[in-house]
Amino acid sequence: MTTDSPRWFKSSYSTQNGGACVEWAPEHAPATGVVPVRDSKVSGGRVLMLSPSAWTGLVTLARSAEL
């Protein structure tokens, strides 16, 4: 993904110690129709681009999982 500087938001389940760090850039979605998701521990790494419905499904699955 190439954007100037998307504003990334860390998952509320992520910890300051580096555990389960998932970030997403919600402001990117309305303009492009895709939700970018990345591993915050590898901020320059690959970005998973999801449709809004796939993102909703992923969040629903994560919320229902026993962590």
Task: Give pTM, 2 decimals.
Answer: 0.73
Residue with tokens 């504003």: 7
Structure tokens at 34: 């895709």
54 burial (CB, 10 Å; 0-12 / 13-18 / 19+) is middle
Q: Is the pLDDT confidence value at 2 over 50?
A: no
Task: Using CB atoms within 10 Å of the CB of residue 7, give its burial: 0 to 12 exposed, 13 to 18 middle, 19+ buried.
Answer: exposed
Q: Each residue of 8-65: pLDDT tens digit?
A: 888 776 666 656 678 999 888 888 999 999 988 888 889 999 999 999 998 898 888 7
- State the amino acid at position 39 in one-letter form: D
